[in-house]
Amino acid sequence: MKIGVFVCHCGTNIAATVDVEKAAKAALNLAKVKFSTTYKYMCSSPGQALIKDAIKEKGLDRIVVCACSPSLHEKTFRECLKESGINPYLLEIANIREHCSWVHRDRETATRKAIEIMKLAVTKVTHNRPLEKTHMPIEKRVLVIGGGISGIQSAIDISFAKFPVVIVEREASIGGRMARFDKTFPTLDCAACILTPKMVTVAQNKYVTLHTYAEIEEVTGHVGDFKVKIRKKARFVDTSKCTGCGACWNKCPAKVASEFDLGLCKRTAIYTPFPQAVPNIPVIDRENCLYLKSKKCGLCQKVCPFGAINYQMQDEIIEEKFGAIIVATGFTQFDHSVYGEYGYGKYRDVITGLHFERMANSSGPTGGKIIRPSDGKVARDVVFIQCVGSRDEQKGVSYCSRLCCMYTAKHALLLKEHNPDSQAYVFYIDIRAAGKNYEEFVKKVQNEYGAVYLRGRVSRIFEKGGKLIVRGADTLSGAQIEIKADLVVLAVGLIAQNDAAKLAQMLHIPYDQNNLFTEAHPKLAPVETITSGVFLTGACQSPKDIPDTVATASAASVKALGLLVQDQLEKEPLVARVDKNLCSGCQACIKACSFNAIETKEVEDRALKRKRTVAEVIEGVCSGCGNCTAVCRMSAIDLEGFSNRQIMEEIEVL
Amino acid sequence: MTGDRSEWEPKIVGFLCNWCSYAGADLAGQSRLEYPPNVKIIRVPCSGRVNPLFVLKCLSSGVDGVLISGCHTGDCHYSEGNFHARRRFTILRKLFEYLGIDPKRFQMAWVSASEADKWAKLVKGLVEEIRQAGPNKLGHR
Ligand code: FES
C-alpha cells in the first residue's frame, strides 16, 4: 500500500495558520505514507494534475487530501482519482480548513491539530475498500410543492423538456402571493397581466397536473424514487362536472371575511379565492357552510345546473412517485401585532402593505380606491413604516426582507397616482434598493412623486380627532416629527411559512433558525439541498422578489431535469453490508432500519450442514445511515466508508 | 500523557453526524469563530452510527471526554437515527454512573447545520467541563 498525502495551502486560508510544509513532512512519518507534498490550490487543475502525476510516478494507490471540508471537494478529488485509474473511494479528505485553520489563531496549535486530523484520515484511508457506484432507475416525473409564481415557473420549464410535472397547491387556486399584487416594481407591470397568462398556460399544459386544495401528507423514498402521499382535501364540488359558472356563489347566503382580500371584503362559503382563479372551480369551506354545519340550506346544490355539488365528498389520499421534488412553498407575512406601538388591530386605518396592494387593485375590494377602511374616505396623508419585523432581533427577525423598501416606494407612487392630492411619508432605517433599475425607481418616487422620506423609527401611533397621529424621529435633522395621517401602512417583513419546519422534516432538508430552508451551498449550490433530488426555489429559501424567484425556479428546474435526463441514477456505494459467516440471524438490524433495507435470507451452512437465516442488505434501498451497525451483536453488519475497524483505529491513533 | 496536571490538555473525541453537526462545525469555520483545539472530530453519517463500543473504546484508551452530536429531534437526515442514538446514550450514561465513570465525560448535543455559534460555545463549554473533571485515568489505571 502506498499512500500519498497532499496538503493544500488554499491560498492563505490554510497556510497562514497551518505550517503546511511541516504537516507534509510529518505525513512521511506515518505508516504506509510514501509521498507527501503541498500546493497552493489543490482543487485547481494544476493541483489535480499534481496528484495525478504523483499517482503515476510514485505508484500511489490511496490518497489523503488535507484541504477544505469534504462537503466542498470530496467529489472533485474522487473524480481526480478515477481519472488516474484508482478507485475513487480510496480517498479521504482531512478537513484542515473549516475545522482547523479557520477556527484557531495560534500557528503552532493549528499545525499540531492539522497533523492530528491528517493522521485520522491516513488511518481511515488504509481501510477504505474500492467500491463501485450502484445504479437505480429514475421515476421520470417531478413534484412541485407550491403553486405560486415560483412553482408555476418551475412546472412550465420542466414541461418544456416534456417531462410530467405535478403541482400540489394547498389553496383552492394556484397563483400564490403574486396573485394578490396590484403592480410590480420597478416596471409597474400589472401583476395579474403577467401572472394570469402563466397560470392558464400551466393549467392547459398536457405535461402538468394540478392538485389544488391539496397538501403533502408524507414523503418517503429517495432521489429517483420518492413516494409521496398527497391529501386532496374535499372540495365538495365535483371538478369533472363544474364549469365555474358561478351560480352557486351568487346564491350562497353564508358570508365570511375573505382571506384573499385580508378581510377587506367578504366572500361566500362556496367560493373561488379570486375571479381569475385557476382552476376556476369553487370549494366549499366546511367551517362556514350552513349545510355542512347543520344541514340547513343546500342552496348551492339546488342551483347548480350541472349537479356538481356533493356534500358527501371526503378527503382523498393519493400516492404518487417522483424522481425529483421542487420546493416552492414561498413565504408568509410577519405577524406585526407584536408592535403594540403601531396600533395594528386597534386602529382600522393601520394596515399592512398587502392590504394596500389589494386596495390599489382595480378588481380588489375597494375597486382600486385607496381609502380609510374605517370610514371609506379617500386617504390623503399616508405614512409608510418600513422594517416592521425585519432587522429587529428583539421583536422580529434579524435579516432584511429585501422587498419592503421597493414595495413601499411602489406604494408611495401608486398612492399619488390614485389620489393626486395625497402625500406619502416614509419612515425608513436604510434604503436598500439593490437591483436593476431599483435605485432609480426609488429616486423617481422621491423626486417626481414627492414622497417624503424620513430616516428614523416611529415611536407611537394614536388616534385624535379622527386622524392617526404618528410620532417619530427624523434622525437626520434630529427633529421630532408628528404627522396627522389618514392611513398608516406597515411594510411587514417576510418570514417562513408556519409549517415550514414540518415540511422540511418530511423532506429531510435542513432549515435555519428562521425556518427558512437551507441550500446545499450558499454560493455554489443555491437551489440544491443536501438531500439529493430535492431542490429549492423562491422565498422558502430566503426572501426574494419576483425576478429572483423566477430565476431560481428556472434554476431548480434545470437541476431537476439534469437528473431526469439520465438513464439511470448513480447511487453512492457507502451502504451497509452483512458478513454472512458472522451473522447469527438475530434480526436486530432489521428492527433498527427505518428504510426497510434489510431482508432475511436462507443460506446453506456447510459446517452445520443445514440452512440458516441471515440478514441481507438491499443495496438500492440502503441509505447508509449506519444505525444497523450499532445494534449488531456479532459485528456482522458494517458500513462501507465508515466501518467499525476504521472508526476504532481512528480512536486508537488519537 | 503525563501525570503533570499543568501540562495536561483535555483530549476529546467528537462524533459528528455528517448532515447537521459536521456542517455546523464547517459553518463555524466559515464564520471564523474561534474555539479551543481539543475536540478531534470523527465524521459519521448519522449519530445513530455511533456504536456504544466506540465510546467505551475512547474512554478505555485514555480519551478524556466523548461527544456525540447530531441533528435536532425530528431533523435527522435519516428520520430516526438520533432517536436511537439518544436511547443508547441514556443507557450508556447510566452504566457509566454505575461503573463510577464521571458522566460528564460522555455528552450528547444537537447542533444543526446553521448553528455555528452553538457549536463553538459547545466546544468551549465542553473543554472547560472536562478540564474540571481532570484526566481520565481509565486508560492508565
Ligand atoms: S443525520 Fe444527523 S443525527 Fe442522523
Beta pairing partners, B12: B39, B65
CA A616–ligand 1 middle distance (angstroms):
23
Cis peptide before A186 (omega within 30 of 0): yes
Cβ-based neighbours of A409, under 8 Å, separated by 6 or more: A185, A426, A433, A441, A442, A445, A451
The residue count of chain A comes to 654
**Alpha-carbon distance B108 to B91, whole Å?**
12
**Is B113 touching A (CB cutoff 8 A)?**
yes
pLDDT given at position B1: 44
Query: pLDDT above 70 covers what percent of chain B?
Result: 94
Largest alpha-carbon pair distance within chain B? 45
Q: Which residues of B76-111 are buried (b: 16+ CB within 10 A; e: fewer)?
A: bbbbbbbbbbbebbeebbeebeeeebbeebbbbbbb
pLDDT tens column, B95-129: 999 988 898 999 999 999 999 999 999 999 999 99
Mean pLDDT computed over every residue of chain B:
92
pLDDT, mean of residues A35-44? 97
Q: How is chain A split among helix, strand and coil, in percent rounded to 5? A: 30, 25, 45
What's the rounded Cα separation, in Å, for the pair A44 and A141? Answer: 36
Q: Residue A532's pLDDT band (boundaries 50, 70, 90)? A: confident
Residues of A in contact with B84 (CB under 8 A): 592, 627, 630-631
Kindly state whether residues A519 and A427 are assigned to the same domain: no
Report the candidate in A607, A608, A606, A626 with the shortest Cα–Cα distance to residue A617: A626
Q: Tell me which residue in A103, A531, A627 faces B35 most closely, judged by beta carbons.
A: A103
CB A115 within 8 A of CB A18: no
Q: Which residues in chain B are contacts of A512 at CB distance < 8 A?
A: 112, 114
pLDDT of residue A299: 95
The verdict on whether omega for the bond into residue A279 sits within 30 degrees of 0, i.e. cis, is yes
Determine the angle formed by the axes of helices A644-653 and B52-60, rounding to 10 degrees: 20
Same domain, A543 and A560: yes
Into how many domains does chain A fold? 5
Q: Quote the CA–CA distance of A167 and A158 in Å, as a whole number.
A: 11
User: pLDDT by residue (tens digit) across A299-312?
Assistant: 999 999 999 999 99
Q: Dump pLDDT digits (tens) for A243-259.
A: 999 999 999 999 999 99
- B4 in a domain, yes or no? no
pLDDT in tens, A323-336: 999 999 999 999 99
pLDDT in tens, A268-300: 999 999 999 999 999 999 999 999 999 999 999
Assigned domain for B2 exists: no
- SS3 string of A39-71? ECCCCCHHHHHHHHHHHHHHCCCEEEEEECCHH
> What pLDDT is attached to residue B140?
57
- In which domain, by residue range, is A203 found? 142-233+315-331+496-564
Residue B6: pLDDT band (50, 70, 90) is low
Query: CA A150, CA A551: separation in Å to the nearest integer?
Result: 9
Indicate whether B39 belongs to any domain.
Answer: yes
Residues A351, A384, single domain; the answer is: yes
Which run of H or E residues covers position A474?
A: strand A467-474
Q: Is the CB of B83 under 6 A from ligand 1?
A: no
Using the predicted structure, report yes or no on whether residue B137 has a pLDDT greater than 70.
yes
CA B22 to centroid of ligand 1, rounded, Å: 10
User: CA torsion A104→A106→A112→A117, rounded to 10°?
Assistant: 10
Taking alpha carbons only, the member of A65, A53, A63 closest to residue A14 is A65
Task: Tell me the per-residue pLDDT of A69-94, one tens digit each, with 9 for 90 and over.
Answer: 999 999 999 999 999 999 999 999 99
Torsion, Cα of A200, A204, A205, A209 (10° steps): 100
* Amino acid B139: pLDDT: 62
| Pocket flag, ligand 1, residue B68 (CB < 6 Å) | no
Q: Which amino acid is at A136?
A: M
Q: Is residue A137 part of a domain?
A: no
- How many CB atoms are located within 10 Å of the residue A13 CB? 19
Predicted confidence (pLDDT) per residue in A556-586, tens digit: 999 999 999 999 988 889 999 999 999 999 9
Q: What is the mean pLDDT of residues A318-322?
A: 97
Nearest to A390 by CA among A350, A348, A352, A333: A333
Give the model confidence (pLDDT) of A195-245 as tens digits.
Answer: 999 999 999 999 999 999 999 999 998 899 999 999 999 999 999 999 999
Residue pLDDT, tens place only, A479-509: 999 999 999 999 999 999 999 999 999 998 9
CATH code of the domain covering residue A69: 3.40.50
CATH of the domain at A623: 3.30.70.20
- Partner residue opposite A98 with nearest CB, options B26, B61, B88: B26
- Give φ, ψ of A556 to 5 degrees: -65, -35
Q: Check residue A570 and give its pLDDT.
A: 87
pLDDT tens digits, one per residue of A95-131: 999 999 999 999 999 999 999 999 999 999 999 999 9
- Given A71, A90, A125, the domain boundary residue is A125
Q: Each residue of A518-545: b (16+ CB within 10 Å) or e?
A: bbbeeeeebbbbbbbbbbbbbbbbbbbb
**Measured between alpha carbons, how far is A133 from A575 in angstroms, rounded to an integer?**
10
Q: Is the distance from the beta carbon of residue B16 to the nearest atom of ligand 1 less than 6 Å?
A: no
Residue tagged 426582507 (cell numbers):
A401
Do A26 and A112 lie in one domain? The reply is yes
Structural domains in chain B (count): 1
Select the more confidently predicted residue: A623 or A39.
Answer: A39
Cβ proximity of A570 and A86 under 8 Å: no
Asked if residue A325 and residue A180 are part of one domain, the reply reads: yes
- A157 and A263 co-located in one domain: no
Could you tell me the pTM of the whole model? 0.85
Report residue A521's pLDDT band, with 50, 70 and 90 as the boundaries: confident
Measured in Å, residue A630 CA sits from the centre of ligand 1 at 14
Q: Which of B9, B42, B43 to mutate to test the interface with A (most CBs of A within 10 A)?
A: B43
Rounded CA-CA distance A297/A280 in Å is 23
pLDDT at residue B5 above 80?
no
pLDDT recorded at residue B141: 45
B65-102: pLDDT as tens digits: 999 999 998 889 988 899 999 999 999 999 999 988 89
pLDDT score at A185: 96
Give a yes or no: residue A136 inside a domain: no
Structural contact between residues A611 and A620, judged by C-beta atoms closer than 8 angstroms: no
Answer whether residue A130 is part of any domain.
no
Cell numbers standing for residue A280: 376556476
- Are A339 and A475 in the same domain? yes
Measure the CA–CA gap between A83 and A61, rounded to whole angstroms.
13
Q: Cell 429531510, residue? A: A508
Pseudo-torsion of CA A553, A555, A558, A559, nearest 10°? -100
A283: amino acid identity, one letter: V
| Span A406-465, pLDDT tens digits | 999 999 999 999 999 999 999 999 999 999 999 999 999 999 999 999 999 999 999 999
Mean pLDDT of chain A: 95
B43, amino acid identity: R
Question: Residue B13 in 3-state DSSP?
Answer: strand
Residue B3: pLDDT above 50?
no
CA distance A482 to A471: 5
pLDDT in tens, B24-40: 999 999 999 999 999 99
Domain presence at residue A239: no
Spatial separation of the C-alpha atoms in residues B68 and B105, rounded to whole Å: 11
Average pLDDT score over residue span A616-629: 92
- Given CB atoms, is A530 within the 8 Å cutoff of chain B? yes
The count of other CB atoms within 10 Å of the CB of residue A46 is 10
Q: Quick one: average pLDDT of A257-266?
A: 94
Confirm whether B140 is domain-assigned. no
Domain boundary among A516, A544, A564: A564
Per-residue pLDDT averaged across A519-530, rounded?
Answer: 89
* Interacting residues of A541 by C-beta distance below 8 A, sequence separation 6+: A516, A517, A518, A519, A526, A527, A552
Residue B15 β-bridge partners: B42, B68
To test the contact with chain B by mutation, choose from A647, A648, A650 the residue with the greatest count of B C-beta atoms within 10 A, namely: A647
Q: B2 pLDDT exceeds 60?
A: no
Residue in A227, A210, A226, A228 with CA at minimum distance from that of residue A170:
A210
Nearest CA in chain B to A107: B37
- Residues across chain B: 141
CA distance A186 to A169: 28
DSSP string, A588-649: HHHHH-TT--EEEEEEEETTTTEEEEEEEE-TTT-----GGGGT-TTS-EEETTS-HHHHHH
Q: Specify whether A490 is located in the same domain as A536.
A: no
Identify whether residues A448 and A558 lie together within a single domain: no
CB-ligand 1 contact for B63 (6 Å cutoff): no
Share of chain A above pLDDT 90, in %: 92
Beta bridge partners of B106: B66
Q: pLDDT-derived band of residue A518, with 50, 70 and 90 as boundaries?
A: very high
My answer on whether A536 and A581 are in the same domain is: no
Q: Residues A340, A484: one domain?
A: yes
CB atoms within 10 A of CB A466: 12
Residue in A553, A593, A555 with CA at minimum distance from that of residue A147: A553
Assigned domain for B31 exists: yes
Domain-located, residue A81: yes
Query: In angstroms, rounded to a whole number, what is the distance separating the alpha carbons of residues A620 and B13?
Result: 32
Measured from the Cα of B47, ligand 1's closest atom is 3
Cβ pairs bridging A and B (under 8 Å) = 142
Helix boundaries (H) for A317-469: 353-360, 404-418, 438-447
Q: Tell me: do A487 and A385 sit in the same domain.
A: yes
Query: A188: closest CA among A37, A357, A30?
Result: A357
Q: Three-state SS for A536?
A: strand
Domain membership flag for residue A132: no
Measure the CA–CA gap between A625 and A642, rounded to whole angstroms: 10
